[in-house]
Chain A
């Protein structure tokens, strides 16, 4: 049994990292289009709000049909769990960039991609980080649910194994590990990041 938990942790964290990365990128891009184009806002923007209210595990049956009962399905629901929240937060982050910064940048002749890169993106960092935090919580839940049902290793799988072997000590310890990882990421990574950024950006 030795090394099993470490391996499972590694596997779970690997999955969530990949899924989370994809979700951030997709969320930022979708957020950009929703912010930039009124038509996209009226159409896709509305759909995203609707999709956001679907718990990501609900996508699992579809994912199994599309990709089969494998790693890819789990990755899919992890990603989709975080994408919509990320999109919504990115959109509102872009939308709430103070007019003053935009006017200043335009005065100095910033346009197009430069404007996006040097003003819109950095100015919306506080809200994007809040988005990351929520998105991470969502995908962490999705990951556990996915692994529990889907298998293929990871903490969720270990939990399921503990159940079938009647090893409650394993079940409880995995639960504790899940809680510890969740707390560490939230408190050490996101909470600190959020506080620093809010202080620096003068939001608080």
Chain B
């Protein structure tokens, strides 16, 4: 399945056109759909309001911060009203604080628009914080290894006992894969020791003693 106007992709880098203003960037796809100018503008302004960028409508991308650019990219995708929004590690180039804010905003957008989001990430915490369902992939060949449902729906910022537990589960599933890759890269005698400290649900080490 190829990306297209019904299945829009948000890339790792925002990929905004530097020669267009924020508004023009957001209406780029709508104009391609031959939507009348006024209608496209009204729609774009609506979406930009949703990602809290109303004040930067006429700015150029080089005047925005990384997080803002990524928000414009999300707005540009959402304005197309896609059936499914594909996000390919969209926040991995951002700093931790910005990412947290964007997690929260993404969840808000998701609740408002009810769009299906397909989110690819290497960050386990990010996956757990944002998703209802996590699909863990194996290394080459990239097959689905396991599908996990995340029971609680969170605010996307604070981990709680459920998400921590899910994180541990994902990590333990991935451990085998990590081992496989490391053995491929460093030789068979290498072993990825499982000596990291597992946290209890309560978050206190040694609470079970």
By a beta-carbon cutoff of 8 Å, the part of chain A in contact with chain B is 100-101, 103-110, 114, 118-119, 122-123, 125, 199-202
Contacts and interface: CB of A to CB of B under 8 A. Distances in A.
B15 A202 contact: no
B37 interface: no
B9 A202 contact: no
Contacts of B11: 100, 103-104
B61 interface: yes
With most chain B CB atoms within 10 A of its CB, the pick from A100, A104, A118 is A104
Interface of B: 3-5, 8-9, 11, 13, 15, 17-19, 28-29, 32-33, 60-62, 80
Contacts of A107: 3-5, 8-9
A176 to B, nearest CB: 38
A125 to B, nearest CB: 7
With most chain B CB atoms within 10 A of its CB, the pick from A100, A101, A107, A201 is A107
A156 B19 CA distance: 40
B47 to A, nearest CB: 15
A101 B60 CA distance: 16
B15 A122 contact: no
A119 B18 contact: no
A108 B62 contact: no
A125 B18 CA distance: 11
Contact of A201 (B13, B18, B29, B33): B18
A16 to B, nearest CB: 28
Contact of A122 (B3, B8, B17, B80): B17
A108 B19 contact: no
Contact of B4 (A100, A109, A200): A109
A118 to B, nearest CB: 7
B9 A119 contact: no
The 8 closest A-B CB pairs, nearest first, are A108-B29, A104-B15, A122-B19, A100-B15, A107-B3, A201-B18, A109-B5, A107-B9
A202 B13 contact: no
Nearest to A104: B15
Contacts of A109: 4-5, 29, 32-33
B8 A108 contact: yes
A122 B28 CA distance: 14
Contacts of A201: 18-19, 62
23 contacts: A101-B15, A103-B9, A103-B11, A104-B11, A104-B17, A105-B28, A106-B3, A107-B5, A108-B8, A108-B28, A108-B29, A108-B32, A108-B80, A109-B5, A109-B33, A110-B32, A118-B28, A119-B17, A122-B19, A123-B17, A199-B62, A200-B18, A202-B62
